[in-house]
């Protein structure tokens, strides 16, 4: 299932793949302001909570960083339980007057879970271990699903190849890719 259309953010692509007990999360480096590229090598994927959780975000940078910090605070509160932390963040995000205005969506992964977390209150886990968000998310996810199904590539190889394909299709996605793996 792809969530990119529901989360129509221009300016980034985030892709997560879990295969053979390994997870890789990739994000492109392009930042745009309207129709102008203002940065080529932004880091939209990072590790939090003692490097045990990887998050990738699409949307307004300040909003995404705020949400990442709030997720990390929830992880501290709930002893690293990603599921509980993601649900609590989504609940706050949906009900808090200030947070509701934040324009971002994120993918968060640990060694056993992969979630899309949104301001709509969504905490969704993919059926097949592949998830893409952002403007190039559909293309990246489609490429990753094909590579997952028809090759023996590992998670890191899949996200790298799929992100290159997305960058060749989406004007809001570039080939300066950050990859984090668990």
Catalytic site residues? Answer: 12
Closest by CA to 80, choosing from 98, 53, 106, 61, is 53
156 vs 23, 26, 32, 177, CA distance in Å?
A: 7, 8, 26, 12
What SS3 class is residue 37?
strand
Task: Please name every residue paired with 27 in a beta bridge, in sequence order, or none if there are none.
Answer: 14, 178
Q: Which structure tokens are listed for 27? A: 């994000």
Alpha helices in the chain (DSSP H): 61-77, 82-95, 137-150, 155-169
For 41-63, b/e burial (b = at least 16 CB within 10 A) is: ebebbbebbeeebbbbbbbeeeb
* Interatomic CA distance for residues 75 and 150, integer angstroms: 36
């Amino acid at each position: 299932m792809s969530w990119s259309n529901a989360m129509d953010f221009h300016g980034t692509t985030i892709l997560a793949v879990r295969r053979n007990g390994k997870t890789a999360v990739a994000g492109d480096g392009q930042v745009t302001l309207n129709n102008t590229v203002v940065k080529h090598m932004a880091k939209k994927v990072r590790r939090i909570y003692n490097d045990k959780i990887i998050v990738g975000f699409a949307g307004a940078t300040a909003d995404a960083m705020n949400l990442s910090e709030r997720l990390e605070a929830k992880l501290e509160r709930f002893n690293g339980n990603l599921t509980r932390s993601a649900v609590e963040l989504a609940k706050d995000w949906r009900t808090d007057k200030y947070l509701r205005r934040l324009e971002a969506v994120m993918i968060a992964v640990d060694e056993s879970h992969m979630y899309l977390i949104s301001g709509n209150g969504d905490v969704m886990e993919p059926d097949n271990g592949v998830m893409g968000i952002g403007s190039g998310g559909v293309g990246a996810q489609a490429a990753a699903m094909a590579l997952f199904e028809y090759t023996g590539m590992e998670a890191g190889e899949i996200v790298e190849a799929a992100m290159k394909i997305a960058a060749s299709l989406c004007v809001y996605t570039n080939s300066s890719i950050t990859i984090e793996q668990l």
